């Protein structure tokens, strides 16, 4: 079974600082990996996805993630945090056979002025 | 293209009642998946429908059921509501079953009192 672990349920950064949200996955097959963002009382918005093309994936709002097979990681980064980045972030792995996504527990990002 | 729509957005029910939630996928998408999001359990897969057939099912009791219509719209039903069913229910649509690109709706917030 596939699984995802997000390290750190809460991350706090200052505006303008580097954002780093950590995600490790477990998968017996080449994974489809995703990062989603969720704002309060809203659904999930796709930030970026890895589907076995380039290992460095660029997404929306200046976010990017690097797939590292040797470390089974897919960490999300943004060079400079903005107040509007404050939200909850979910890492997910998609299992095509089971037709479902498995999500990490989420990381709440707080951005301090 | 319009996104995934879910109705109603908010719902309050009493223990023992039943509830039906609706999801309209993106035009042209034929697969609909449902997820339950709670603070304690996170995001959990409920089931997936494709071409009016349930293709995959998560680990939920039989009180949770769903169906899909010929126009790909989907409904999920929860009977004999329990307090623990209070959650955000998210619907995701994709072009076909096994397609990793899922688009999420805004969710239905169900509160059981």
Between CA A44 and CA B98 the distance in angstroms is 19
Distances in Å between the alpha carbon of A104 and those of A54, A94, B4, B51, B55?
23, 12, 23, 29, 23
* B84: phi then psi, degrees, rounded to nearest 5: -70, -5
**pLDDT tens digit sequence for A64-100:** 999 999 999 999 999 999 999 999 999 999 988 888 8
**Interface A-B: count of C-beta contacts within 8 A:** 57
Tokens for B61?
A: 């009791």
Across residues B61-65, what is the average pLDDT? 97
In this prediction, residue B100 carries a pLDDT of 78
Cβ–Cβ gap A99/B105 under 8 Å = no
Closest listed residue to residue A104, CA positions, set A19, A15, A12, A31: A31
**A22 contact B CB<8A:** no
Structure tokens at B72: 């790909």
- Residues A37-49 have pLDDT tens digits of 999 888 999 999 9
Residue-wise pLDDT for B4-20, tens only, equals: 999 999 999 999 999 99
At A13 the pLDDT is 97
Q: Provide the pLDDT for residue B72.
A: 96
Q: Cis peptide leading into B8, omega within 30 of 0? A: yes
Do A100 and B33 lie within an 8 Å CB cutoff?
Answer: yes
Q: Which of B97, B100, B106 sits opposite A51 (nearest CB)?
A: B100
Residues of B in contact with A49 (CB under 8 A): 100-101
């Amino acid at each position: 079974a596939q699984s995802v672990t997000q390290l750190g349920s809460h991350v706090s950064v200052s505006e303008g600082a580097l954002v780093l949200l950590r995600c490790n996955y477990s998968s017996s097959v080449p994974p489809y990996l995703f990062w989603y963002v969720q704002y309060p009382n809203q659904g999930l918005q796709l930030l970026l996805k890895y589907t076995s093309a380039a290992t460095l994936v660029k997404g929306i709002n200046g976010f990017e993630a690097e797939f590292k097979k040797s470390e089974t990681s897919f960490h999300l980064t943004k060079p400079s945090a903005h107040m509007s980045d404050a939200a909850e972030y979910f890492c997910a792995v998609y299992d095509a056979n089971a037709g479902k996504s498995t999500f990490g527990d989420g990381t709440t990002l707080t951005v301090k002025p | 293209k319009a996104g995934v729509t879910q109705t109603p957005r908010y719902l309050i029910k009493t223990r023992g009642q039943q509830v039906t939630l609706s999801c309209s996928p993106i035009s042209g998408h034929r697969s609909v998946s449902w997820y339950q999001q709670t603070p304690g359990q996170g995001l959990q897969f409920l089931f997936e429908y494709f071409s009016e057939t349930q293709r995959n099912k998560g680990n939920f009791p039989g009180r949770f059921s769903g169906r899909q219509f010929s126009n790909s719209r989907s409904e999920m039903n929860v009977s004999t509501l329990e307090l623990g069913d209070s959650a955000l229910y998210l619907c995701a649509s994709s072009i076909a079953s096994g397609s990793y690109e899922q688009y999420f709706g805004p969710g239905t917030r169900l509160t059981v009192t």
